[in-house]
Structure 1
Amino acid sequence: MTDARTSSDIVTAALLVIGEEILSGRTADQNIGYIAAYLARVGIGLREVRVVADEEMEIVAAVNELRRRFTYVFTTGGIGPTHDDVTTDAIAKAFGVEAALNEEAVAAMRRHFDDRELTPARLRMARIPKGAELIHNAISRAPGFMLQNVIVMAGVPRIMQVMLDEVMPRLAKGRPVLARSVRVDAPEGDVAPPLAALQAAHPEVQIGSYPFFEQKRLGTFVVLRCADEASLEAAVADLWRVIAREGFRAVDSEGAGASDESVPDPNLD
């Protein structure tokens, strides 16, 4: 396998979601899908997502493992003003540095809070590990930060999204992953055997199948992903040959022309 840390074409990432509220089910995560799609568009492949509790040593262990395996590690959550927001201290400990009030972060927060509002609890959000670069936040002004290849962001979705936009120009990018989707009017169990052969013939293309049930009918979405357009198109062409050979009815979900054998049933739309 190619080492993603040394290849100019492959940039990888892990996402570490931090928070008891996610693990307990009290809060439904809204960030994973957004981050995964965003990174795919810019050419950073999200390879792993991990959820940990607000426990300092668990965060330290996860960060230290992931930052050695991937080009970047993104974290969400745990940088707020409360006692259980321990992410900043955990990141500092993972790198063996001190977390202290950052004057630039304090100045940014003063643009949002007056002296009365800038309580000691809120000032916790201006504590930044030594050596980290700030990730500015135009919404609440409390910053995230980037320390080497670890990007630390808020858990609140709209604030996380602003931070992701702000940090992205600093990051290396690979080739964006292209995707094609074909809707097949056949159960996944029928589609699986020829797809296995197709995957073996095109190892450079990621081929996934996703079953659906609609109007009492089973079907399968086949999604092909690859950074190389020529390889992707070759696999898609072979998929249509498989569809024709097996007698499946299908339609290109991306709007491209379907094969002669694959006129979709309008009742499926």
Structure 2
Amino acid sequence: MTRVQIQHWRMPLLIAALLACTNCGKGAEGSAQEAGTAVYGAPPNNTPDGAGNTKAASKQPNKDPGRIGDAVLAYPDDMQVTMLAFRLTGRTPPLSDWAAEDYKVRRADEFSKAPLLQEETIRLAAIYEATENVGYLQYRLNSQLSQYDSAKGGYYLTAFTPGQQTTFSGREQVSLLIDNMKEAYFWPLEPDDARDILAQTSRNVSLDVKVRITGTERRSSGLLIKGQITDYGIYSQRYNDERVLAQFSLD
């Protein structure tokens, strides 16, 4: 399955905007609370310049807040999913605050702290930029094969048990819930083919999954990203022999 990479052609503009984070203001926060919407990650009023001084942040809109596009975020780590969560819910991430918590920045002396803070803020801004126009996630799951179901003729993939969620623990907990997981749960195989698969895998397989994002929902445990599987592949987990065992499309 092809790994699609997201273009970064708007990087300079976004970095400039994010280094001058929007001051949300009390009025905006108050109106959001009246509407029953939580306000997260209010950006700082000042940002450091290259000399370590501070300057007032100019007002910049959050680009494409909440927009679900058609780009693929492939094999993301926890921080990338956190940035995507902020993007999908129309929030501006507090990049300067997060950068200030970086180990290298915290341990830096007074001469190197400001440039290191700026460098880390730019790095985080690049991660956030990579979430623009994202509408698909591609990731890997480890799964096991059930006992062979001779009545139906196939295996069940335990990682696709309906209702099961994939959780990312970045700056905030984000879970992924697939509403068509039942369609991928069963892997039909003839008995002879199933026996060969069992010999190759010892019941352990890897699933390469592509998911279309359909929306978000705020829950007490954190943000829930909803989606539907569009494609998935089943791979052997043998060392240096990760062969494709099967591929399916649910579109």
| Pairwise TM-score range, normalised by the shorter structure | under 0.3
> Which structure has more RCO (C-alpha within 8 Å, separation ≥ 6)?
2
Normalising by structure 2, we get a TM-score of: 0.22
Normalising by structure 1, we get a TM-score of: 0.21
Higher strand proportion, which one?
Answer: 2
Higher helix proportion, which one?
Answer: 1
